[in-house]
Amino acid sequence: MATQQQQSAIKGAKVLMVGAGGIGCELLKTLALSGFEDIHIIDMDTIEVSNLNRQFLFRRSHVGQSKAKVARDAVLRFRPNINIRSYHANVKNPEFDVDFFKQFDVVLNGLDNLDARRHVNRLCLAADVPLVESGTTGFLGQVTVHIKGKTECYECQTKPAPKTYPVCTITSTPTKFVHCIVWAKDLLFAKLFGDKNQDNDLNVRSNNSASSSKETEDVFERSEDEDIELYGRKIYDHVFGSNIEAALSNEETWKNRRRPRPIYSKDVLPESLTQQNGSTQNCSVTDGDSMVSAMPSLGLKNPQELWGLTQNSLVFIEALKLFFAKRKKEIGHLTFDKDDQLAVEFVTAAANIRAESFGIPLHSLFEAKGIAGNIVHAVATTNAIIAGLIVIEAIKVLKKDVDKFRMTYCLEHPSKKLLLMPIEPYEPNPACYVCSETPLVLEINTRKSKLRDLVDRIVKTKLGMNLPLIMHGNSLLYEVGDDLDDIMVANYNANLEKYLSELPSPILNGSILTVEDLQQELSCKINVKHREEFDEEKEPEGMVLSGWTPSPATNGDSASTSNNENPVDVTESSSGSEPASKKRRLSETEASNHKKETENVESEDDDIMEVENPMMVSKKKIRVE
């Protein structure tokens, strides 16, 4: 039961919720039932069928509608006298600026991606508004409190970056099923159904320069009168047959590797599939184009069933035929979406055929979808627990009980008989480039890298800036904004295509760049260090950004995903006599005991989130309760 002081703080509070998914539904319900009377919700997503098993404010009749609006309407039915305002929009839109954030007493995050989380963190810092972050992934969850100048901000500790793979591994020498998924999703699917102008050569990379890009373009080009099935077989034979033959011609590559097996459609499929499968008129179509499916006409019903080579080949051809027969207008504009049934079927089939060729174990549609969509399947009760903890911390924030703030982690298995692990928040990291303005260091080949590489790979991707401005000394090299005239835009676009050392104000070894985002009111310095060579395997981007506190060390691959809840960063409490006010390190034993259950997970929903490693902090100091 809330005290009079708590009730007063709750009723007078104006709260901003960002995200109305798995955590967001539980959070809105809990806020309303706890007495909050002025709640604003931002969410850009619409309701999918896959949301209905855990986002309990939604029903099948709501599919396709705004999550924020439907959640608002559902809660107002049992709390009609409170004020809830919904925004069906992206939190990164310009109307949600620093002045917008300043009107709130606390911001509560239930987001599904790192980029939006960083954006909200920076706006809260600029507006000096407390932020309560959250995330879940399966049975794991976390709630953290971020107060400017008093606790670390969300970016004080670096988050696991999405796992990247060298291009040569994906195109030529896959050894894991995830390599086949990346190939099928980011290369083959994009080549067939995405932007035709993008640079995407599916020929195997080898020392034989005879495999030309032009030949590939001819293979993938389909004439208007070309039979769809014959076109599908042509693609099949090219990517699974002749491309593998070309790769095998390079004997050096396979000296210490298992040689792949070329696969041709004539060896796997009957001469004509039309009579066997029926026409595309008999395909399954429900709830719009994203639910077109190749499985029903092939007699496939169970997504957890493991398909053999023949079944995967049939699905590959059938899915390709359906894209051209039922969704032809979308071809040229499609990107892979885990909620697009036909896309998932095509990518699963293509990945499995490639896996068969390279001797890699096959996976079911259910498993492949999880890998392709970076999905860690959600647990509704974890979302409910985390939502309750968010509200508890929000009340503490409103009462300004700084000494009682806690970062709380939800564990899958008890640690010292506890499933909820509360610890005191960390102090601000003096090395954080966001809240402490510490300069960063960029190692880059200034003679071979263009300004576009710097903008796309560093400023936008790693630093998360949406409307960047880049200055070198007094020279403005690049800027984004609606108020730029045509001449300025042309100049900045021209700069993007210039090598760093050839810019009007050349960027060389020792140069210091100022990078700003006016929307986020964030500015940082980057010290440039010229470097000639990079390891293609370990540094595939050809540049290295450093200068913040590194992530906790891990053993093995740091796989990463990205969707609705957040990363978990769990720590062990001490049972010794050490004073509670001191920080200490987790013992290596304690850390390793919990490593597997918390390592680099990130996701709620079938929206994936980033949950920081709870017990993966053996090299990270913590406050112990």
Q: Does domain 167-201+220-270+293-373 bear CATH number 1.10.287.1400?
A: no
Q: What is the percentage of the chain residues whose pLDDT exceeds 70?
A: 79
Annotated binding residue 559:
no
Of 62-76, 188-202, 305-319, 492-506, the least confident:
188-202
Q: What is the mean pLDDT of the chain?
A: 81
Active site residues: 168
Q: What is the pLDDT of residue 113?
A: 81
Annotated binding residue 52:
yes
Annotated binding residue 117:
yes
Task: Copy the structure tokens of residue 189.
Answer: 């699917």
Place of tokens 């039961």: 1
Query: pLDDT of 112-159, one tens digit each?
Result: 788 899 999 999 999 999 999 999 988 999 999 999 999 999 999 877
- Spatial distance between the Cα atoms of 17 and 109, rounded to a whole number of angstroms: 6
Of 71-85, 381-395, 424-438, the least confident:
424-438
Q: Which CATH superfamily is domain 4-159+377-423 in?
A: NAD(P)-binding Rossmann-like Domain (3.40.50.720)
Count of CB atoms situated within 10 Å of the CB of 602: 32
Annotated binding residue 432:
yes
* Interaxial angle between packed helices 341-357 and 365-372, expressed in degrees from 0 to 180 and rounded to the nearest 10: 100
Q: What is the percentage of the chain residues whose pLDDT exceeds 90?
A: 51
Q: What is the pLDDT of residue 218?
A: 63
State CA 11 to chain mean position distance: 36
Residue 471 pairs in a beta bridge with 476, 514
Closest CA to 411 of 574, 206, 568, 575: 568
Fold entry, domain 440-546? 3.10.290
Query: pLDDT of 201-229, one tens digit each?
Result: 564 333 343 444 444 446 788 888 889 99
- Give the type of residue at 556: G
Query: pLDDT of 75-118, one tens digit each?
Result: 999 999 999 999 999 999 989 999 999 999 999 999 878 889 99
Between CA 474 and CA 484, with CA 479 as vertex, the angle to 5 degrees is 110
Query: pLDDT of 538-596, one tens digit each?
Result: 888 889 998 744 333 333 333 333 334 433 333 333 333 333 333 333 333 333 344 33
Query: pLDDT of 487-513, one tens digit each?
Result: 888 999 999 999 999 999 999 998 999
Of 348-352, 435-439, 572-576, the least confident:
572-576
The domains of the chain are located at: 4-159+377-423, 167-201+220-270+293-373, 440-546
Annotated binding residue 45:
no
pTM of the shown model: 0.67
Annotated binding residue 299:
no
Closest CA to 157 of 131, 119, 118, 125: 118
- Spatial distance between the Cα atoms of 119 and 127, rounded to a whole number of angstroms: 12
Annotated binding residue 20:
yes
Annotated binding residue 105:
no
- Give the type of residue at 229: E
Contacts with 567 (C-beta within 8 Å, 6 or more apart), sequence order = 135, 137, 142, 159, 160, 600, 601, 602, 609, 610, 611, 612, 613
pLDDT band at 162 (very low <50, low <70, confident <90, very high): low
Contacts with 317 (C-beta within 8 Å, 6 or more apart), sequence order = 229, 232, 233, 236, 265, 269, 273
